[in-house]
Every structure is written in C-alpha cells, then in structure tokens.
Amino acid sequence: MENVLEQIAAYKEEIAALQPNGAASLEEYRIRFLGTKGIVKALFAEMKNVPADRKKEFGAILNDFKVFAEERYDSWKAALSGAEESGAASDTDLTLPGDPLPLGSRHPISLVRNEILSIFRRLGFSVSEGPEIEDDWHNFSALNLPENHPARDMQDTFYLNQNPDWLLRTHTSNVQIREMQKGKLPIRIVTPGRVYRNETISARAHCFFHQVEGLYIDEHVSFADLKQTLYFFVQELFGRDVKIRFRPSYFPFTEPSAEMDISCLLCNGKGCNVCKHTGWVEILGCGMVHPQVLENCGIDSNKYTGFAFGMGIERITMLKYQINDLRLFSENDVRFLQQFTSSL
Ligand code: 2U9
C-alpha cells in the first residue's frame, strides 16, 4: 500500500507540472488518467489489496486524487475552448501569411484614359466631368450646331422618350460648355467620359464609346500652343520617335479645324494594314474654339481665344495594344481583360 501512496503522490506532482497546449494533448491526458483503462480506474482497482483497517484512509486519498485530476482536466478544457474562440493556442498558425485574393486588372480603356489624363495633368490641365444625360442646348446649340444644322446628322443621337429636349450626350463637349458658363477664366481642362451615338454595332462602330476632350481658354492662346501641347502629348503617350502632321478639317465648334495624324507605330511610317499603307494614322480632331461658341457662353471673343481637341479612347487603345475589334471592350471576356496591366 505504501508503494501505491507514493505512486499517487508522484502522479499528483506530474499533473501539477503539466500544461497541455492543445486539444490533442488534453485528450491524451484524459485517456491516460481519467479514461476507462486509465490510471484513476487502475488505482481504484487496488482497493481490493488494501488491508481492511486502512481502506477508509486509502479511499479518501484516492478520492482526493480523482477530484484533483478531474478538476485539472475541467479547467484546462475551459481555458482551451476560450483560447480557441479568440484564435490563440489552436492548430492554426496565425503568423502564416494569408491566402492572397485573386486580383482583378484594370480595363484597358481605364488604363489608357488614366495615362492620357496624367499627361495633361502634368501640363497644368485639371480633370472635369459632367452629365451623360444632357439637354439639346449644351450638347448642340451652344456648340454652333443650331436646329436643322446639317452637322447634327454627323452624330446620330439617342433622344429620351420622356422629353425630346433631353438626349444622351454625343461628346463630352457639354462639360466644357458648362465650365465656360461659370465665367471663371482662364480655363484649362480635360473632360473624360462616356458618349453615345446611334450606330449599328460592328468591329468598327459602337453605340457608346469614351472620349477625352480638352479646352484651353485664355488671352493670347494660339494655334502654335495647340500644336505644341498635342505634340508633347503624343510623345509622352507613344514615345519620342513619333512624328505628327495636321490636316485641315471642319467642325462647327472650331475655326480653323484640323485632324492630327501620327506616324504609324506598327510599320514606322513604311506602310501596313493598320495605316492603310499611308504611313499615318489619325488620332484626334482639334482647332481654335469658334468665337461664336465663346460668345454663346458669355466669354468676350475679342479678349479671349482658346483651343480645343477631342479623341476617342477606344481608337487610341486599339492602336496602342493592336486590338482590331471594338466589341471586345464591352464584352467583359476575362481572357481579353486579363491581358492588360499597368501602374496607372
Ligand atoms: C468646346 C469647343 C470645342 C472639341 C473637339 C474634335 C475636334 C474632334 C472627335 C475625335 C474622335 C470626336 O471621339 S471622336 O469621334 N472630336 O474631332 N473635338 S475639336 O472641340 C470643342 C469642345 C468644346 C466648348
């Protein structure tokens, strides 16, 4: 019996020194001490070998030990489940880096728009935006396109059923008109945005697309300022080797008007399918703001002059990334969209 008492004292010391550090070691403890084939059960089985006069004393010591072993188990278990709830001491290693979420990529139109805006920001232009649903005056009349003007036919328009004076803007020039009406000069803005035209959808045309237009109005603004600004712009966008040329054109809102070509990026001006063997590709339209447009917005055209330009972002994106079908931009096919990365 003395041996057994010594053994119980040793077990008590062992248990006092134990610190199970997870569910697995706690279960190991339970099986070893409290299980049906465990130490406590085995010690109770020793009872039959204890002399009758010491059974009471042995029983009390054994009971104490059993209660001690059970209490230890209960308190460890409680501590462990509390710790698991707060995330500690579980099998999860919280110091491991998390599983990365799959990152999307920017739409190529957004990438090129951001690149264009960043170039003009560096030249001192600020970005201005306005409504896509517009009234006839801000979209047409103020821009020298009075009712029944043949130039209105150039841009087939979506009108709203509720009110034939309302339409989906056909260009972002409505933003410039609204800015000019505020009467705060000088003005140096670029206006990115979505525009709408009633066109049959094909590889080369769509019923909506994106533009960036620009406007600079101050005293003494000249066509030379326009040329230098746009030259800087294309060199930044396409590289230092790009060449430019201006061709005379006609827009009702600018006079004189021009279209600007750049040397073909694919064949370096030698002639290919993209430039239709001319060596040049058109990228934007521009001109000096028509004095009548200035007056329409309350700006004194004797004192102020300005230049304006407009470009389709889809067209520039197609040239930059050699994309041959406009419809790819609005189909949201991830196999197409995943191919574009940029820091902007
Ligand atoms: C104001 C005055 C003048 C903006 C201009 C163009 C020439 C032009 C086209 C390029 C391709 C439209 O997207 S496109 O189809 N734009 O050629 N845009 S000058 O002129 C303005 C704008 C606002 C107050």
Last residue within a domain, chosen from 90, 122, 142: 90
Tokens of 25: 């070691």
Considering the domain architecture, whether residues 30 and 72 belong to the same structural domain is answered as yes
Considering the domain architecture, whether residues 156 and 286 belong to the same structural domain is answered as yes
Residue closest by Cα to atom 22 of ligand 1: 173
| 255 in a known ligand binding site | yes
The residue to mutate among 311, 317, 329, having the most atoms of ligand 1 within 8 angstroms of its beta carbon, is 311
Residue closest by Cα to atom 20 of ligand 1: 308
Distance 188 CA to ligand 1 centre (A): 15
Mean pLDDT computed over 24-38: 92
Q: Distance between CA 1 and CA 187 in Å, rounded?
A: 104
Considering the domain architecture, whether residues 80 and 175 belong to the same structural domain is answered as no
65 belongs to a structural domain: yes
Considering the domain architecture, whether residues 143 and 290 belong to the same structural domain is answered as yes
C-alpha closest to that of 319 among 234, 247, 241? 234
**Count helices and strands in the chain by DSSP H and E runs:** 12, 9
Tokens of 341: 């990365």
What's the number of domains the chain is made of?
A: 2
Please name the residues in contact with 220: beta carbons below 8 A apart, sequence gap of 6 or more.
305
Tokens of 130: 């306005």
Q: What is the pLDDT of residue 110?
A: 97
Distance 68 CA to ligand 1 centre (A): 88
Crossing angle of helices 223-238/108-122, nearest 10°?
A: 130
Q: For 214-272, how does the pLDDT look when each residue is reduced to its tens digit (9 = 90+)?
A: 999 999 999 999 999 999 999 999 999 999 999 999 999 999 999 999 999 888 888 88
Considering the domain architecture, whether residues 113 and 53 belong to the same structural domain is answered as no
Considering the domain architecture, whether residues 53 and 171 belong to the same structural domain is answered as no
Considering the domain architecture, whether residues 208 and 73 belong to the same structural domain is answered as no
Residue closest by Cα to atom 11 of ligand 1: 311
181, 184, 190, 193 alpha-carbon torsion, rounded to 10°: -40
Considering the domain architecture, whether residues 218 and 69 belong to the same structural domain is answered as no
Q: Distance between CA 61 and CA 139 in Å, rounded?
A: 98
Considering the domain architecture, whether residues 57 and 112 belong to the same structural domain is answered as no
Q: What is the pLDDT of residue 236?
A: 97
Start-to-end CA span in the chain (Å):
83
Considering the domain architecture, whether residues 135 and 275 belong to the same structural domain is answered as yes
Q: Which residues line ligand 1 (CB under 6 A)?
A: 171, 173, 176-177, 211, 213, 215, 251, 253-254, 284-287, 289, 293, 308-312
Looking at 235-304, which runs of residues are DSSP E strands? 244-251, 254-263, 280-289
Considering the domain architecture, whether residues 244 and 288 belong to the same structural domain is answered as yes
Residue closest by Cα to atom 8 of ligand 1: 285
Considering the domain architecture, whether residues 123 and 250 belong to the same structural domain is answered as yes
Distance 81 CA to ligand 1 centre (A): 69
Q: For 34-88, how does the pLDDT look when each residue is reduced to its tens digit (9 = 90+)?
A: 999 999 999 999 888 888 898 898 889 989 999 999 999 998 888 887 766 665 5
pTM: 0.73
Bridge partners, residue 262, by sequence: 244, 281
Distance 253 CA to ligand 1 centre (A): 8
Distance 343 CA to ligand 1 centre (A): 28
342 belongs to a structural domain: no
Q: For 172-230, how does the pLDDT look when each residue is reduced to its tens digit (9 = 90+)?
A: 999 999 999 999 999 999 999 999 999 899 999 999 999 999 999 999 999 999 999 99
Distance 315 CA to ligand 1 centre (A): 14
C-alpha closest to that of 236 among 341, 112, 109, 338? 112
Q: What are the two backbone dihedrals, phi and then psi, of residue 52, each rounded to the nearest 5 degrees? A: -55, -35
For the chain, give the longest Cα–Cα distance: 126
Could you list the residue range(s) of the whole structural domain that residue 27 is in? 2-90
102 belongs to a structural domain: no
Check which CATH number belongs to the domain holding 204 and give it.
3.30.930.10
Contacts 24+ apart (CB under 8 A), 62-65: 62/8, 65/8, 65/11, 65/12, 65/40
Torsion-angle region of 196 (φ positive above 0: left; ψ -120 to 50: alpha; else: beta)? beta
The residue to mutate among 145, 174, 226, 251, having the most atoms of ligand 1 within 8 angstroms of its beta carbon, is 251
Last residue within a domain, chosen from 90, 123, 146: 90
Q: What is the pLDDT of residue 84?
A: 63
In ligand 1, the atom with minimum distance to the C-alpha of 177 is: 24
Residue closest by Cα to atom 23 of ligand 1: 173
Neighbours of 109 (CB within 10 A): 19
Q: For 186-195, how does the pLDDT look when each residue is reduced to its tens digit (9 = 90+)?
A: 999 999 999 9
Last residue within a domain, chosen from 90, 123, 149: 90
Q: What is the pLDDT of residue 104?
A: 84
The residue to mutate among 128, 141, 144, 173, having the most atoms of ligand 1 within 8 angstroms of its beta carbon, is 173
